Chain A
Amino acid sequence: MIAEASLGSKLSIVLATARMRMLNVSRYKGQLFVEILIPIVFAAMPILLGRATGGAAAEANFLRNTGTANYPAFMLIGSSTFIIVTFAFWLVGYWIRFEQETGTLEAIYLTPTSRVWNAAGIALYSAIRSMISGSVAYLIGSLIFGVNPLQGQLLLALAFILVGLVPLFGMTLLFGALVMKVKEANSLVNLMQWTVSLLMGVFFPVAVFPPLMRLLALAFPPTWMVNGVRSALLGVGYFFGEWYLDLAVLWGFLLIAPLLGFWVFSGMERNIRRREGVGEY
C-alpha cells in the first residue's frame, strides 16, 4: 500500500518544478531582455500613434474617451498586464507541449504524484517571471515616457494583480486541455494571446465594445485585473463603482476558474491517455 503524499512533499514538487524552470530560463539572458523590451515597444506604438494623430488635443480626447489624460501610463499598464497574461498562456498552456517536445512527459506520468502539482509549479514560475518582467518594463517605460510609476494606490493595484493571477492560471488549464487535444500549441497560443489582449482592453476601455462582446470581455478575469490596476493607479473608474466590489468579482473567479480548469484538464488528460497516449505529438 502506498501512503498518500504529505502536503509538504506536494509543496516541494511545486517549488522544485518552479526552481528547475527558473534555472533553465536563467541560461537565456537575451530572452529575458526581450521580455522586458516587448511591453515597452508594444505600449510605444499606441502612445506614438496617439501623439501624432491627436496632436495637442491628444490628452483631452483621451480623457474624454477613457477617464484619464495620462495615456502613456494607461498603455503601459495594459502592455505590462499583457505580458503577465501572455506568459500564463505560453508557460502553463504550453507546459504539456514543452514536456512532450523535450521527451519528459511520459517520465512525469510515471512519478507517483498528480500532474496538478507540476502545473502549480509552472504557474508559480510563470507568475514570478512575468511579474518581474512586467514590473521592470513598467518602471523603465514610465521613465522613457515621463510617467510617475509610483502614483495612485500601488498596494491596491498589486492586490488586483495577485488575486487575478489565480483565476488566470485556472483558465490556462482549460487552454492546456485544448492544446493537449488539438496539439498545434504554437498557433493556439499565438491566437489566444491576441484574443485575450483584445478582450481585456489592452489599450482601450472595454466600454467601446458592442454589448455582446462587452459581456464576453467581462466574463474574463484579466479584464477585471487590468481595469482594477488602471482604476487604482489612474482613477479611470471601477466597473461596479467601488474597488471592493470589483475585487469581490475577481475573488468569485478565483474560486470557480481553478476548479473548472482542473476538472476539464483532468478529464481531457484521462481521455487522451486512454485513446492515443499523451506522448504523441
Chain B
Amino acid sequence: MTAIERAASPSRLTGAAALFSSLLAMARKEFTIMTRYPVEFVASFGQVFALVAIFTLAGLTFADASGEGGNFGGVVIYGFILFMFLSDTLWTIGYNIRREQKQGTLEALYLSPASKFASLVSRVSNNLIWTSLLSLAGVGLMTALVGKLPFANPALGLYLLGLSLSGTFGIGFAFAAITLRVKETGETLANVLQFVLLILCANFFPFAALPAGLRAISRVIPLAYGVDAFRSTLMGYPEGFPELASIGVEIVIVTVFGLLMPLIGYWAYRVAEDHERRSGGLSEY
C-alpha cells in the first residue's frame, strides 16, 4: 500500500480517531502560532492583574469604615472568570475564521477532508488552557488584595463552569456563523455583544443592581443563569443568592444550555458555511 493510499484510507479520513487526530494537529498548529508571540503571554497576565486590581479597588471605595465590602470579592472574581471565557470564545472562533479568510487559507481548509467541527474547536482549545491559568492568577491576585475568597461546593462549581463553558462554545460557533455572513462588521458586533452580555449577565455586580426592565431581559438569557449559579455556588449561597431563580432551577437551565447550545451553534455555522459556499463568498472578506 503506497503512502497516498494509506493517507486516503477510510479509517484515516472518518471516525473518532480521524476526528481526534485532526483536532490534535489543528490545535498544535494554533499552539505553534501562539508561541511565536511571547509578549502576548506576558501581556495577558499583566492585563488580568490590572483588570482585577481596577475592579477590586473600585469596589473598596464603597467599603465601610471597617473596610468591609460585603460579598463583592466573590461576585467580581467569579463573574470575571466566566467573562474571560466568554470573551475569549466570542472573539477567538470568529476572529480565527476571519484570519483564515484574510490569509487566503480558508478555502484550502475546506478542500481538505478534515472535520469542520475539529477546525472550530481547535480555535479555542489552547485558549481554554491559557484562560484557565489566567483565571487562577486572577483568583490569586484577588485573594492577595481583599483576603480569603469564599470557596464552597467546588465540585458543583466545576460542573456549572464546565456546562457554562460548553454553552459559550455554542455561542462562539453561532457567532462564527454570523462572522461568515457579515464579514468585517463581525468585529464591531462582537464588541457590542460582549458589552451587552457584560451588563445583562451581571459579571461584575449582583443582578439586584440592574433596573427591573434589564433584569427581566437577563432572565431570558441562559448564560446569566450560568453566572448566577456558578458564583452563588462557590460563595456558598449567601443571603440573596442565587438571584434569578432557585439553585435547582438554575442547574437545570445551565445543563440544558451546556448540552444544546453547542449543537445549535454548530448547526448555525454549517448553515452559514453552506450558504457562503453556494454563493461563492467563502473567500470574500
Give complex CA distance A173, B192 in Å: 30
> Nearest-CB distance from B38 to chain A (Å)?
8
B61 pairs with A37, CB closer than 8 A: no
> Which listed segment binds B: A121-129, A196-204, A240-248, A258-266?
A196-204
> Nearest-CB distance from A186 to chain B (Å)?
8
Tell yes or no: A64 within 8 A of B by CB: yes
User: Which of B43, B62, B188 is A54 in contact with, Cβ under 8 Å?
Assistant: B62
Tell yes or no: A44 within 8 A of B by CB: yes
> Which listed segment binds A: B19-27, B160-168, B202-210?
B202-210
- Residues of B in contact, count (CB < 8 Å): 43
User: Which of A31, A37, A51, A198 is B195 in contact with, Cβ under 8 Å?
Assistant: A37
> Nearest-CB distance from B272 to chain A (Å)?
20
B63 pairs with A37, CB closer than 8 A: no
A64 pairs with B65, CB closer than 8 A: yes
B43 pairs with A190, CB closer than 8 A: yes
B62 pairs with A62, CB closer than 8 A: yes
Give complex CA distance A182, B204 in Å: 33
Tell yes or no: A7 within 8 A of B by CB: no
> Nearest-CB distance from A188 to chain B (Å)?
6
B61 pairs with A71, CB closer than 8 A: yes
B64 pairs with A61, CB closer than 8 A: yes
- Which residues of the other chain, A, contact B227 by a CB distance below 8 angstroms? none
B72 pairs with A187, CB closer than 8 A: no
Tell yes or no: A53 within 8 A of B by CB: yes
User: Which of B37, B43, B61, B192 is A50 in contact with, Cβ under 8 Å?
Assistant: B61
Give complex CA distance A61, B61 in Å: 7
A46 pairs with B192, CB closer than 8 A: no
Report, as a range, how many residues of chain A touch the other chain.
35 or more
Known: A64-B65, A198-B54. A50 touches B59 (CB 8 A): yes
Tell yes or no: B46 within 8 A of A by CB: yes
B37 pairs with A184, CB closer than 8 A: yes
A203 pairs with B61, CB closer than 8 A: yes
- Which residues of the other chain, A, contact B58 by a CB distance below 8 angstroms? 45-46, 49-50, 75, 203-204
- Which residues of the other chain, B, contact A37 by a CB distance below 8 angstroms? 192, 195
Tell yes or no: A26 within 8 A of B by CB: no
Smallest CB-CB separation from B76: which chain A residue? A49
A53 pairs with B50, CB closer than 8 A: no
A49 pairs with B188, CB closer than 8 A: no
Tell yes or no: A212 within 8 A of B by CB: no
Smallest CB-CB separation from A209: which chain B residue? B57
Known: A190-B47, A194-B50, A204-B57. A52 touches B208 (CB 8 A): yes
Known: A45-B198, A65-B61. A34 touches B191 (CB 8 A): yes
- Which residues of the other chain, B, contact A195 by a CB distance below 8 angstroms? 46, 50
Interface code B62-73, partner A: CB below 8 Å = 1, 0 otherwise? 111100011110
A58 pairs with B62, CB closer than 8 A: yes
User: Which of B50, B64, B72 is A198 in contact with, Cβ under 8 Å?
Assistant: B50
Give complex CA distance A121, B178 in Å: 36
Residues 171 to 224 of chain A near chain B (Cβ within 8 Å):
182, 184, 186-188, 190-191, 194-195, 197-198, 202-205, 208
Residues 38 to 84 of chain B near chain A (Cβ within 8 Å):
39-40, 42-44, 46-47, 50-51, 53-55, 57-65, 69-72, 75-76
- Which residues of the other chain, B, contact A49 by a CB distance below 8 angstroms? 55, 58-59, 62, 72, 75-76, 204-206, 209
Tell yes or no: A135 within 8 A of B by CB: no
Q: Which residues of A contact B (CB under 8 A)?
A: 28, 30-31, 33-34, 37-38, 41, 44-46, 48-54, 57-58, 61-62, 64-66, 71, 75, 182, 184, 186-188, 190-191, 194-195, 197-198, 202-205, 208
Q: List 23 A-B contacts (CB under 8 A).
A: A33-B192, A34-B191, A37-B192, A46-B204, A49-B59, A50-B58, A53-B62, A61-B63, A62-B62, A182-B39, A184-B37, A184-B39, A187-B40, A190-B47, A191-B50, A194-B46, A202-B54, A203-B54, A203-B57, A203-B58, A203-B61, A204-B58, A204-B60
Q: Which 6 A-B pairs have the closest CB atoms?
A: A194-B50, A203-B58, A48-B209, A52-B209, A54-B62, A187-B43
10 extra interchain contacts, Cβ-Cβ under 8 A, other than A65-B62, A184-B37?
A: A33-B192, A45-B205, A48-B205, A53-B62, A53-B205, A54-B62, A61-B63, A62-B61, A187-B44, A188-B43
